Amino acid sequence: MSPRTNNYLERAAEYGKNITYDRPASGQIYGFIRDAIVSMELLPGQMISETALAAKFGVSRTPVREALIKLANLGFVDVLPQRGTYVSRFSMEKILEARFIREALEVSVVSYLAENTCDDLVSAAEAIIREQKVAAEADNALLFQQLDDEFHQMLAGHTGHQRVAEKIEEEKAHMDRVRNLSLHMSGQYNRVLTQHKAIVRAIKMGKKEEAITAMSVHLREIYKVLATLPKDHPEYFQ
């Protein structure tokens, strides 16, 4: 067992002490495992032991299994009969498809918002950007990305179409780990912050075409990462 896995299981044991039963344990466990995968603490291709996790969390295998099923449905893990559960390797095809779908949806989102802007939306977006700046200064990539997710979900939520937010959440799963890795590239925090500010500024001013352009530029950042990542880490890909 690798030191990385040992550390992950030690954290699971600590996390298990704080699992509360006023909400489903499976959801809390899902969040823990998802964060470990997105942060690359659990690497592509690495095995996840349902039994070991249940023991560390101090729960039965049922909530762990439910969490893993949800992760499998989102594309984070592969459940192989008679072999076990493994962190999914990157699929270039799925990443590019997810980016395409997200751009189609999120361009429509900002187009709508630029024509239907409101002070609450702008205030909420600017507050998230301020929190992201603090996370960037602390080099907290996971928190920065969580706030990035919150930013995009908040924009989608203001359209009033719940399925749009849900679809964006579903598709971005294929991009999450790559996005996390990209934050360690030189200047990436500042680029994302600048892009978010441009999106909000265009929405605030009601400039539809500028909002569309700003969102497209933002979502195409992933191409820069994909230009080098497969060469640097071929073991992460299918």
Are residues 209 and 127 part of one domain? yes
Structure tokens at 161: 């179409």
Q: Is residue 27 part of a domain?
A: yes
- Residue 12: pLDDT over 70: yes
Q: List the CATH number of the domain containing 204.
A: 1.20.120.530
Are residues 38 and 141 part of one domain? no
Task: Output the pTM of the full model.
Answer: 0.86
- Residue 186: pLDDT over 80: no
Q: Is residue 6 part of a domain?
A: no
| The total number of structural domains that make up the chain | 2
For the stretch 123-166, pLDDT in tens is 999 999 999 999 999 999 889 999 999 999 999 999 999 999 99
Are residues 68 and 111 part of one domain? no
Mean pLDDT of 186-202: 94
Provide φ and ψ at 76, rounded to 5°. -85, -30
Q: Is residue 2 part of a domain?
A: no
Q: Rounded to whole angstroms, how far apart are CA atoms 14 and 24?
A: 18
pLDDT at residue 225, rounded to an integer: 86
pLDDT at residue 6, rounded to an integer: 61
- 47 has which bridge partners? 86
Are residues 113 and 25 part of one domain? no
Q: Is residue 4 part of a domain?
A: no
Are residues 176 and 103 part of one domain? yes
- Residue 190: pLDDT over 60: yes
Are residues 71 and 164 part of one domain? no
Q: Rounded to whole angstroms, how far apart are CA atoms 16 and 163?
A: 32
Name the pLDDT band for 8 (thresholds 50, 70, 90).
Answer: confident
> Checking phi first, is residue 78 left (phi over 0); if not, alpha (psi -120 to 50) or beta?
beta
For the stretch 69-122, pLDDT in tens is 999 998 899 999 889 999 999 999 999 999 999 999 999 999 999 999 999 999
pLDDT at residue 5, rounded to an integer: 57
Residue 60: domain span:
12-87
Are residues 154 and 96 part of one domain? yes
For the stretch 27-65, pLDDT in tens is 999 999 998 998 889 999 999 999 999 999 999 999 999
Which candidate, 51, 59, 75, 52, places its Cα nearest to that of 26?
A: 59
Structure tokens at 28: 């809390």
Name the pLDDT band for 200 (thresholds 50, 70, 90).
Answer: very high
Name the pLDDT band for 1 (thresholds 50, 70, 90).
Answer: very low
Exposed/middle/buried for residue 83 (C-beta within 10 Å: 0-12, 13-18, 19+): exposed
